[in-house]
Structure formats: structure tokens, C-alpha cells
Amino acid sequence: CVLLFLIGILGNMMTMLVVSKFRDMRTTTNLYLSSMAFSDLLIFLCMPLDLFRLWQYRPWNFGDLLCKLFQFVSESCTYATILNITALSVERYFAVCFPLWAKVVITKGKVKLVILVLWAVSFVSAGPIFVLVGVEHENGTNPLDTNECRTTEYAIQSGLLTIMVWTSSIFFFL
């Protein structure tokens, strides 16, 4: 796990560094790859908390804000990666099938705008996570012993969880 973590962090940082430092590397394709590298970097940075939660899910000692924040970052970055891959695939399709048209229409400025929009869509789509998850404990027990970062009862009863499952499924099938 540690090796995967280090390779993931270093590889994604190197990708972003190369694309940002070398002007000739700032192609439309590499802009998408750099955006995906940023997304993956954030996911890797959340990985230690995620692993800790798997190994010792009770008690959750990091507070409600960190519970919500790390879930939000993971969810929004997953959406961003999916949308980046989708946008990159569409761009590559046009570049291969309509090369002359794509050369004129698909510009770096438009790709940067697409990346900005897809990140905004990712953040908005993951926004309900702040209501869906939280630190809860079992009734009649000591909260310090049974605090858990999990889906809230409100999310289950209100149907919000169902909506998020559908949202995640839609992103998956993109």
C-alpha cells in the first residue's frame, strides 16, 4: 500500500509538473491528463484516511467536518476523473475522425473551459455528500466508543441516499 501511495503521489505530481513547466507539453490532450492527475492526486491524499477507516472504523476520532470533507473530496474527484476521461475520449474521437475540423475547433482555451465546467459539475454533483455522511453513534452507547463516519439516518430516510446512488450510476455509465 505504501509503495502504491508513493508511486501514485509522485507520478501524478510529475505529470502536473511536466505539463505546467514545458510549454510544448500543454496540448489539449495533456491538459485533460493533467486535470486527471490532479484528481488522482487528491484521491491518493485521501487514501490514508480511507484505509484507516477500513481498518478501524470505530471510533472515528477526526470529527464531523473531516468525515464529510474527505468523503466529498473522494466523490468529487471520482466524478471529475470520469468526466475528464469522457471529455478526452470525445476530443480524441473528433481528432481522429475529423482532424481538420478538430484542429480549428478544439483549442486550448476551450479545453480549459471544459475542464473548469467538468470540475464545477463534479463539485455540485458531490455536494449532497455533506448531508449524506456524518459522524454518528449507536443509541445508548458511549459516543467516544462508537462514533462512526457513515451514511446518516436522515440520508437513508429522506431518499437522498437513493438519489446519490442514481447520480453515481449515471457518472459510471458515462
Percent of the chain with pLDDT over 90: 56
What's the grid cell of residue 52?
Answer: 484507516
- pLDDT of 57 higher than 80: no
d(CA 168, CA 149) in angstroms, rounded, equals 20
Q: How confident is the model over 19-30, as a mean pLDDT?
A: 93
Per-residue pLDDT, 13: 96
Per-residue pLDDT, 34: 97
| 42: containing domain | 2-173
Q: How confident is the model over 33-61, as a mean pLDDT?
A: 88
Per-residue pLDDT, 174: 66
Least confident of 71-80, 91-100, 155-164: 155-164
Buried b (16+ CB within 10 A) or exposed e, 76-96: bbbbbbbbbeebbeebeeeee
Per-residue pLDDT, 151: 86
- Interior CA angle at 96 toward 111 and 39, to 5°? 35
- Domain of residue 96, CATH code: 1.20.1070.10
Q: How confident is the model over 85-93, as a mean pLDDT?
A: 95
pLDDT in tens, 136-154: 877 777 767 778 888 888 8
For the chain, what is the domain count?
A: 1
Least confident of 3-17, 94-108, 124-138: 124-138
